[in-house]
Amino acid sequence: MTAPNLFKLPDVGEGLLEAEIVSWKVKEGDTVAVNDVIVEIETAKSLVELPSPYAGVVAALMVAEGETVDVGTPIIAIGSGSVQGSAAEPAAPATAAPQAPAPEEAEVLKPLVGSGPKADAVKRRPRLAAASAVPAQAAAPAAAPAPAAAKAPGQDPASGIIGKAAATANRMVARANRVLAKPPVRKAAKDLGINLSEVLATGLRGEVTKKDLLSYHDQRAAEQAAAGSFWAPAAAQGSAEDPRIERIKVKGVRKATAKAMVDSAFTAPHVSIFVDVDASRTMEFVKRLKVSRDFEGIKVSPLLILAKAVIWAAARNPSVNATWTGDEILIKHFMNLGIAAATPRGLMVPNIKDAQDLSLKELAVALNELATTARAGKTAPAAMQGGTLTVTNIGALGIDTGTPIINPGEVAIVAFGTIKQKPWVVDGEVVPRWVTTLGGSFDHRVVDGDLSARFMADVAAIMEEPALLLD
């Protein structure tokens, strides 16, 4: 039998070092074709589905769901035969471990580029009810002893690094997949910290449904509330660890965000300035856009006007749209506008490429698509690379203003506070107006006080009078 092909975790982004195996889309024994989706991984930036570079039978899942592994680590072994083998080459016993590959077959897989999966290519796990329907000829090799020629003298099928890794991974995956549940239910259970084996399944085929999961979650929450709500009971005398302390492993987006913010805060000398803005005309403009036929079906908010204002102001003050390299200042004559987005996986900053070329309507569509994709956790790594200036909408959370940290590789960021009615002096009279506070942080190595003030004043001018965009 030919040795199986080892699929090694590729670098799906620029400089990716590791990724977490979120969920397997196949199991041992499944047949896969080239470009079939076989696994979903979580990088430091996004969730990514990986297609198979090989066709054949899944020989072993070598990494369990929930584990984080380095790029280049073998994660799955795919044989070249069919599920039931052929007349010339019978299927290997179920207990046999995959043989070690030849050196040329163990070459590190290059990053997958441009090989999108087919829409219907995902292989689903067989249902429990179908277990008894496995053809006898497929099960026979597992029951029969292996021929003497199939085993090298003195070689234990479970011996060798690959065999041991596969056996360990198989045991872990078997435990994880013992409970039937659809992928969305499994993901919800993972997010809620619930072990599916503890949930009573009421599905027609014995699967855990979303209703089962939510019912269990509500019951557990009620029990915790009765025992003292969020606050756990005090640790028992002499216990090794306090049960009131929850431990959350730092990984994925949170780990990448922490490193980036520390690097930025302690590398770039930040200077921040703030300006109060009468945004009443922006609110009127947004109201008109919402009822406009041209914007029918498109979500419009004041963030759209701010984004356009930042693009306009950066064109008048190009040095805020730049990068400091140490020896040079790289001024970008294009705008990849980053929008900080709070997602279930943490803070992400995808950017709108060449935003300076978009009309107001096109920019609105791009903002909607960016927000929808980010909330679904499907933002591609490429969408978070190459940003030139960032906007963070803290006003969506009811916050007036703040001191944002510059996104690494950029020299400016604008924080957009909430818009609320406040007393405002107009022509000597105090009247209620829609007021917001803008906060800007700048890398003082590139942006001096005068430049930062002029840039923020230009942004404020558009918020006060959107008609200036027509000039």
**What CA–CA distance (Å, rounded) separates 352 from 339?**
8
- The architecture in CATH of the region 179-233 reads Irregular (4.10)
370 neighbors 350 (Cβ within 8 angstroms): yes
Retrieve residue 296's tokens: 């029918």
Q: Domain 252-470, what fold?
A: Chloramphenicol Acetyltransferase (3.30.559)
Residue 196: DSSP 8-state:
G
pLDDT in tens, 276-300: 999 999 999 999 999 999 999 999 9
Amino acid at 383: A
Domain boundaries, the chain: 5-178, 179-233, 252-470
**What CA–CA distance (Å, rounded) separates 288 from 404?**
31
Q: Is the dihedral of CA 76, 190, 381, 262 positive or negative?
A: negative
Q: What's the N-to-C CA distance of the chain in angstroms?
A: 73
Q: What are phi and psi of 4, to 5 degrees?
A: -70, 155
The predicted pLDDT at position 170 comes to 54
Q: Please state the separation of Cα 462 from the chain's center in Å.
A: 34
Within this chain, domains 5-178 and 179-233 share the same CATH topology: no
Q: Which stretches of the chain drop beneath a pLDDT of 50?
A: 82-159, 161, 169, 172-176, 229-230, 235-239
The predicted pLDDT at position 387 comes to 94
7-18 exposure pattern, b = at least 16 Cβ within 10 A, e = fewer:
bbbbbbbeebeb
The predicted pLDDT at position 136 comes to 40
Any idea which residues carry the catalytic annotation?
Answer: 444
The predicted pLDDT at position 443 comes to 94
The predicted pLDDT at position 164 comes to 52
- The architecture in CATH of the region 5-178 reads Beta Barrel (2.40)
Retrieve residue 206's tokens: 């014995």
The predicted pLDDT at position 176 comes to 45
